[in-house]
């Protein structure tokens, strides 16, 4: 089976179904949860394709300024703003604001960002799980590139569904071939710096989960205390999303 299943769009990249990955007792259902990059450039045909998929609920993880600069354009969809603000590098543009960062500087900032996703911004992911559990039809969540804030969010969902960590990592790393990138972000940067910035790196996702383990002792305890997913809600989520 060819997973992840990409949704080809002219005005947005890295848009794909989370379905098909192995999960506890089966596999993740297709057509329930989608992840992607910003939707501000959608064409009329793109909007029609998402409507055909039934997407009516969108969780936008971008910061306030990012969203104001490039608002989501998807008529008929309920867009939930769940801003993860661009502190410590959550925004790609924030990372390269000075145009002087080295590749290692970029990775250092991104390690800090991933720790912040897990510990400081858990309430945004908790809100996303609340929306998902309402089961109002297919949900699409995204940030700007669909690789970092969204990548961690997808890793949380898959982990909650019992997907093995190596498979979670495969979904995460797929951004390196499915995101078309934003060339203007890397303009003028040394090649090494640009390469670090425009890719996802396995050690970043490892950093986020290590921060969870260090702070909470286990992923299940983190899920209960920070994501509002006790055993009953985890079971409901698995019933909803696993076939």
Active-site annotation, residues: 143
Ranges of beta strands (E only) in 101-171 are 139-142
Distances (CA, A) of 139 to 2, 109, 187: 21, 30, 34
Q: What span, in angstroms and rounded, lies between the C-alpha atoms of 153 and 200? A: 14
Q: What span, in angstroms and rounded, lies between the C-alpha atoms of 121 and 14? A: 23
Closest CA to 7 of 41, 44, 53: 53
Q: What span, in angstroms and rounded, lies between the C-alpha atoms of 182 and 191? A: 14
């Amino acid at each position: 089976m060819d997973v992840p299943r990409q949704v080809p769009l002219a005005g947005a990249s890295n848009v794909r179904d989370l379905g098909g990955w192995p999960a506890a007792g089966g596999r993740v259902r297709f057509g329930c949860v989608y992840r992607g990059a910003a939707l501000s450039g959608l064409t009329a045909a793109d909007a029609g394709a998402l409507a055909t998929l039934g997407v009516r609920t969108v969780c936008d993880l971008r910061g306030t300024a990012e969203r104001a600069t490039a608002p989501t354009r998807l008529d008929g969809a309920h867009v939930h703003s769940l801003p993860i603000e661009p502190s410590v590098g959550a925004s790609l543009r924030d990372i390269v604001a000075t145009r002087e960062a080295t590749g290692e500087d970029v990775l250092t900032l991104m390690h800090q960002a991933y720790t912040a996703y897990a510990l400081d911004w858990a309430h945004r992911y908790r809100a996303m799980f609340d929306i998902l559990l309402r089961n109002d039809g297919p949900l699409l969540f995204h940030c700007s590139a669909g690789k970092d804030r969204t990548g961690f969010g997808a890793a949380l969902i898959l982990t909650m569904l019992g997907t093995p960590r190596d498979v979670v990592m495969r979904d995460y790393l797929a951004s390196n071939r499915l995101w078309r990138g934003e060339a203007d972000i890397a303009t003028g940067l040394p090649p090494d710096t640009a390469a670090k910035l425009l890719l996802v790196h396995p050690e970043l996702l490892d950093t986020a989960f290590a921060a969870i383990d260090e702070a909470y002792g286990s992923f299940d305890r983190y899920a209960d205390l920070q994501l509002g997913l006790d055993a009953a809600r985890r079971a409901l989520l698995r019933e909803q999303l696993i076939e």
